[in-house]
Every structure is written in structure tokens, then in C-alpha cells.
Amino acid sequence: MSLVVALYVREGLVLASDSRTTLNQVYQVDNVNHHHIAVGISDTAYKTFVTAGNVGITTYGTSIINGVPIAGLISDFIEERTDAATTPEEVANLIHQYFKTNFEQPLHTGFLIAGYKGKGNEREQQLWDIWVPAEAPLRQNDPAQQGLSWRGETDVLTRLIQPTFMKNNQTGEYNPLPYFQIEWGFFSLQDAIDFAVYAIESTIELMRFQLRAQTVGGPVDVLVITAEGAKWVHRKKLGVSRDFYNPFD
């Protein structure tokens, strides 16, 4: 599934994503169906991207389409359908149309699109939410406010930051636990980066101990977009790290 996070603060926008790809599989042995749920395929998937116009794209949901990882399809989309002048709203509409019309439906895939529209004093932050089966992209942010959007495997993060209730087994009533609101309006850009990483890593670590499909994992990629442009705070790199690949070293 994945977990992707977008924060928007006065200084800029932050997109972050995990790196895990999983596969559900059903096969037969002696006419009996066997189900493999969320089999780990890779912890090296790219889910966050940036266009030549400094528009960030992060994806969640179905990540294997027509037998290939979605990362290659998004890279093709960026190269073929966008350029340095394509605005966040245009990217949102184009990517929605691209995945809605070129692939078999329903396609349970979503995107968060972040960037700046306009120039100089007219520059405006935009965050768009795209769910391929939906009718159209939805604007997520109010330019006058700071905040957070999160998509994918959201239950862990939702419990951490939203009001929570505990059931009284004797009365059946649900009593609220102490709740301390997060003041998004005070976040700096560094706070936004730190929270994005915290959100995904907390989900990864809790899933390790739960009896559930561990669909979020691997390194956390973080993209920051400011009025000056886009910058990778962290992004996986290709390389060889295992000793058995270098037996004579």
C-alpha cells in the first residue's frame, strides 16, 4: 500500500514516502487456494518524484501496473507530459487523466502533487490530492494556513495525532484519552521535515510488532520544495552494500 505524507508551511512544502512494494498472491495446491498477503517484494521502490518545473509527485496504492513498477510509468509521464512551465494544478489534472485513460480500470492508485504556481508576489503554494477512480483532483491546502495531508496506510498516524477514545468494558461507554493538539501553524520547514520522517518511521516500527501485513517499510525519501526550487533532503541511491558481493575484499 505505502504511506505518503505532505506538509505545507510558509517556508515550503515537504513530500515523503516509504520504499516498500508488496504483492498479494493466490495459488492452488491440490485444488485448495492458498493466499499470500503482502509478500515483501522490494524495499527499494521510488514513490516520490519531481518535474522540471519543481512540482513534486508522490504515489500510494497499487504500485505494479501492467506487470511493471509504477515508478517507471511516472518517470515516463514526467518526461512526456510535463516541462518547466507545467503548474501543479496542470500536473494533477494530467496525471489523473494519464492513469485513468491509459490503464485498465479500476486502478486503486493515488497521488499527492505539491508545488508553486505563479511567480514573484503572485507565487502560491498548491497541494493536490488525486485518486484515480475519482472524478477529478481535489485541492488540499489553504494558502493562508499550514497543515498536513497523509494517504495510504494511515491508521497508525491517525491514532497518533487525532483524538482517541477508550472503551469502558463495564459501562460500554467510550471515554476520551488526553488529547494534545499539534499546532501546525508554528512549524518551520525543518519541523515539517522532521515530522514527515517521524510519521513514516513510526508506522514502519509499529507494524513490525503487529499481527498485520507490513506494507510500509524501507528507507524514507524526502523532497522539499521552496520558492527557489526543489531539493532532495534524502533519496535512496543505487549501490552495493553487502559483503558477499565482494568476496575478495
CA dist 216 and 201 (Å) reads 9
Question: Given the DSSP bridges, would you call strands 32-42 and 21-29 parallel, antiparallel or unpaired?
Answer: antiparallel
Angstrom distance (rounded) from CA 85 to CA 55: 10
Q: What pLDDT sits at residue 119? A: 81
Residue 23: the pLDDT is: 76
Model pLDDT for residues 8-41, shown as the tens digit of each residue: 999 999 999 999 998 765 556 667 665 555 666 8
Position 41 scores a pLDDT of 80
**Calpha distance 179→160 (Å, rounded):** 10
CA 19 remoteness from chain centre: 10
pLDDT at position 39: 60
d(CA 220, CA 234): 7
Every domain of the chain and the residues it spans: 3-237
CB atoms within 10 A of CB 20: 26
Residue numbers in the chain where pLDDT is lower than 50: none
Q: What is the structure's pLDDT at 111?
A: 98
* Residue of 159, 201, 231 lying closest to 18 (CA atoms): 201
User: What Cα–Cα distance (Å) separates residue 242 from each residue in 19, 45, 238, 248?
Assistant: 19, 18, 13, 13
> What pLDDT does 120 receive?
79
Query: At the top level of CATH, which class does the domain 3-237 belong to?
Result: alpha beta
